[in-house]
Amino acid sequence: MPLPRWEMLGCGGLHEFGDSLSISACHDNAGVHTNHELLQWLTWMRSSYERKLSVRGLDELTAWRKTRHEISHESGRYFSVVGVSVESTSREVSRWTQPLVYHPGEGINGLITQRIRGVLHFLVRACLYPGNRDHFELGSTVSRSDYLSCAGHPDAPEFLDLFIDRDPSWVRYSSIQSEEGGRFYHYQNRYMVLELPAGTIKEVPEYFRWFTLGQIQSLIPHGYFTIEMRNLHACLLLY
């Protein structure tokens, strides 16, 4: 598999951005919220939404169809499960078949940062995914498969338009990365970090909060963050 291609973008200021990351990482007490307040918010989100999980057979799922080669939604949206036959000379066995999750198009995993009181803050989202037994996790600002096809739709994620109609001077990181090939069939996400001018976003919905980089790093070892958010955090370490 080829290495993911990546590039740092923006109209200068990248060294300044790296310095700002260091300040944001070293001063977790400079956030607009304390760590205690952020954990209280996450606990409140987890306790405020009731959810019931149940196991259903494929024949009980509305609008999902099964063919010889795949399980997919009749609308053509969302994901599908496809069967593949694999041959390899570097694994425990030389040939096998297995199901893989297939997402059409290119996904996005995007993080917005903005200076608040002179310190970089990152817009983190409390996200709830199907099958997640831990209720809400902390994720990137936007995480969406096939994001271009959902632009303008009523169910398009909050702040997606800022990534689609982005000013090139906002871009601090942009990279196409392949997701885990043992589970996903040729699925790629664009990982992106945008630095918006101070004051661009003044209010956020209740399921978003501003974190300093230090606050993110202090909570990552406790398992609060999604894998997508942890990957973005790793991208920031390139600075």
pLDDT tens, residue by residue, 53-65: 788 888 888 899 8
pLDDT above 90 for 171: yes
In a domain, 55, yes or no: no
Residues 87 and 120 in one domain: no
Q: Could you give the angle at the alpha carbon of 50 between the alpha carbons of 49 and 54, nearest 5°?
A: 135
Q: Which helix (H) or strand (E) holds 73?
A: strand 70-73
Residues 95 and 118 in one domain: no
Residue type, 14: L
Report the chain's mean pLDDT, rounded to a whole number.
84
Distance CA 66, CA 142 (A): 30
In a domain, 54, yes or no: no
| Count of structural domains within the chain | 2
Q: Could you list the residue range(s) of the whole structural domain that residue 98 is in? A: 63-102
Distance CA 204, CA 142 (A): 13
In a domain, 184, yes or no: yes
In a domain, 58, yes or no: no
Classify residue 68 by its DSSP letter: S
Residues 114 and 158 in one domain: yes
In a domain, 1, yes or no: no
Model-wide pTM > 0.95 = no
In a domain, 158, yes or no: yes
Percent over 90 (pLDDT), the chain? 42
Residues 123 and 94 in one domain: no
